[in-house]
Amino acid sequence: MELSKGYFYAEESLGSALLIRAEDAEAIKGVEDLKGRDIVAQGGSLQEMLMAENVLDYHEFRRLPSMQEVYDAVANGEADAAMADASSAQFYVENNPEAGLMLLPDARFTLEAQFDGDRVAGKKGEFQLMYFVNGVIDELMESGQYRYWYNQYEERAARLGM
């Protein structure tokens, strides 16, 4: 896929991590314990790439359309593990304790610097689209609109206790 320039960079990136059901913590401690198990990641995501590069021995690797479907697949026992952005997944785990999920503390993965930050993804070879998207990102950053939207999000999250 083609990626836009980055527009948001977390102050401290936690990378990506393996997400499992907490009840499986004794049986799944790392990548080597996924042999013969079903794994998932969001299709088209950087986490899909990390899963494909780092987990080589498994039963089935499914790509799902959304992170919510990834979380649900693990929580419902339809998959044994998922690769997820650690910051987002930790937020999900903390705010959805009924899902019974956890991140493996010793199964963290980092991206190359060229993939750091939040980006817009497009179909491989769609250079004209990425030039346009990068222009929009530049315009939003230079005008201060992105910072305004981000501050609104932060204020709302604080009000909701997120």
Alpha carbon distance 21, 7 (integer Å): 32
Asked if 36 and 113 count as a contact pair (C-beta separation under 8 A), the reply is: no
Give the model confidence (pLDDT) of 31-70 as tens digits. Answer: 999 999 999 999 988 889 889 999 999 999 999 999 999 9
pLDDT, tens digit (0-9, with 9 covering 90-100), for 33-44: 999 999 999 998
Cα–Cα distance for residue pair 96/75, rounded to 1 Å: 11
- Segment 105-158, tens digit of pLDDT: 888 777 666 666 677 878 889 999 999 999 999 999 999 999 899 888 888 877
pTM: 0.71
Residue 160: pLDDT band with limits 50, 70, 90: confident
pLDDT attached to residue 139: 95
Q: Is the pLDDT of residue 11 over 70?
A: no
CB 27 within 8 A of CB 33: yes
| pLDDT computed for residue 114 by the predictor | 62
User: What integer pLDDT is reported at residue 113 of this predicted model?
Assistant: 64
pLDDT at position 79 is 97
Average pLDDT over residues 84-112: 87
Q: What are phi and psi of 157, to 5 degrees?
A: -60, -40
Q: Is the pLDDT of residue 12 over 60?
A: no
For the chain, the distance separating the N- and C-terminal CA atoms, rounded to the nearest angstrom, is 32
89 versus 119: the higher-pLDDT residue is 89
**Residue 112 · residue 3 · CB < 8 Å:** no
* pLDDT for 99 beyond 80: yes
